[in-house]
Amino acid sequence: MKKIFTCLLTFFFILSAVNFADAAKDKTEKNVKSEKTLKFDDKKLKKTQLTESTARDNPVFVMRGDLNQLTILGGATATQNQMVRFIKKNNPNAKLNCSIEDIVKIYYAEAETEGIRPDLAICQAIKETGFWNYGGDVDPKQNNFCGLGATGNKEPGAKFDTPQIGARAHLQHLLAYATKRPPRTAIVDPRYLLLAQYRQDVFGKIQNWTRLNGVWAVPGKNYGQDIIELWKRALMPDSNDTAFKAANIQVQKNSSNADAYVNRGLINFERGDFSAAEKDFIKASELEPYTADILFNLAIMQEKNKHFDDAIKTYDKFLAIELNSENGYYNRGRLKLAQNNFDGAIKDFEKVLELEDRFVDAQNEIAVAHFRQKNYEQALKDIRKAAEVNTTNKIINENKTKLEDCLKR
């Protein structure tokens, strides 16, 4: 009896496995069939051009020291006016429930209360919201500036009644990582106590921005570095006539000081004199050939002046120093794309996505490269993937529409 039962059990197990395999095979064949039936209208394709995403062509303020040790706690380096100007330059129509001036003022006041660097906290909010463009799971109405509780899969996360409460919650969450000292205001961060109770491995133990990598965001390989890069862009000097005259005097007095040329180069860039800016950064790079930020700025000026081969060589030098620079790989990839070096461009863009999987502009550029290689099916897959990550990116949505309109019905 026992043997019969064992045989029957074995029979049913084999039968189930066969049925499962057949079902999987049918599903695979159906998917393959579906892919094979994907046809494009050649006439429409000939009239179609995909739009490239914009370059990351803003130079950075050259900072000294090991920025990996930059602390979360501390005072501001950038002024409120610098932060307002930085936000407006990148998105004058920020989706905020207050003015740009007000959100900056709120962050500086709330951060001072808790002893957190307000300029860097704002840069984190900029990274999380895309300069308050949003486009992911969080809605602008939530006043959630740092993705609190937004864990993916359409989960929008926490909602706060006002921008001030949203900024306070953001800063309290940073505080929970940086110190075990409790907030000086009533706790509004819905995850503060959870972090304190269940994450003793990180509660009060993350003192530096770069140590947020893989903690605040997953995988977040370059999370803290991205925040610092935004901060360096926000620190750009004024470009008025007074500042320009002072920069010229500093170059005359300190002709062997790279910083003097860097400062004037940044001012020349802001004034639109890219040729003079390139000369300044060439001189600075001669004085300090291994300072990565100087090389990055030089490459930007070379591209502005259409010295594309020189720009690629400079990015090569920069990336030999800064091995994990998303913007460096992205900008070099765009230059290779312009030269029809499609494989080289795709390799650079894939490196960007390896570092930051939500860098949708890189995914869009991969789609453009595949389209120009006439690999239209792959280009459509690429652009659909980008559109899933960011639903409001205008260029990506337009490219998606263009390609889908080329499908045969």
Please tell me the distance from the alpha carbon of residue 133 to that of residue 239, in angstroms, as a whole number. Answer: 27
Using CA atoms of 318, 320, 323, 328 in order, give the dihedral in degrees to the nearest 10. 30
pLDDT of residue 159: 94
Q: Contact 200/220 with Cβ under 8 angstroms? A: no
pLDDT over threshold 70, residue 24? no
**Is residue 12 predicted with pLDDT exceeding 60?**
no
For residue 236, the 8-state DSSP code is P
* Cross-strand pairs, 116: 73
Q: Name the β-bridge partners of 40.
A: 407
Return the axis-axis angle of helices 118-129 and 223-234, rounded to nearest 10°.
110
pLDDT tens digits for range 353-405: 999 998 999 999 999 999 999 999 999 999 999 999 998 899 999 999 999 99
State residue 37's pLDDT score.
66
CA–CA distance, 183 with 406 (Å, rounded to integer): 56
pTM recorded for the entire structure: 0.84
The residue assigned the tokens 């230059």 is 335
Q: pLDDT digit string (tens) for 243-279?
A: 999 999 999 999 999 999 999 999 999 999 999 999 9
- Residue carrying structure tokens 């002046």: 305
Q: Select from 289, 363, 283 the least CA-distant residue to 326.
A: 363
Q: Of the candidates 245, 302, 255, which has an alpha carbon nearest to the alpha carbon of residue 274?
A: 302
Reported as a single tens digit per residue, the pLDDT across 325-344 is 999 999 999 999 999 999 99
Give the alpha-carbon dihedral of 173, 175, 181, 187, to 10 degrees: -40
Rounded-to-integer distance, Cα 45 and Cα 409, Å: 14
Q: How far is CA 400 from CA 50, 309, 330, 393, in A?
A: 9, 31, 21, 11
What mean pLDDT do residues 92-108 have? 97
Contact 40, 376 (CB under 8 A): yes
Residues of the chain with CATH 1.25.40.10: 291-405
CB 277 within 8 A of CB 301: yes
**What is the per-residue pLDDT for 93?**
95
Q: Higher confidence at residue 13 or residue 294?
A: 294
Helices (H), 145-270: 163-178, 192-198, 223-234, 241-253, 258-270
CA-to-CA dists, residue 224 to 221, 258, 330, angstroms: 8, 27, 18
Give the other-Cβ count within 10 Å of 123's Cβ: 24
Residue scoring higher pLDDT (223 or 36):
223
- Superfamily assignment of 291-405 in CATH? Tetratricopeptide repeat domain (1.25.40.10)
Distance CA 77, CA 64 (A): 13
DSSP letter at 134 equals -
105, 205, 301, 397 from 112: Cα distances, Å:
11, 20, 37, 40
- Over pLDDT 90: what percentage of the chain? 83
Give the mean model confidence (pLDDT) for residues 56-72.
94
Give the per-residue pLDDT at 35: 47
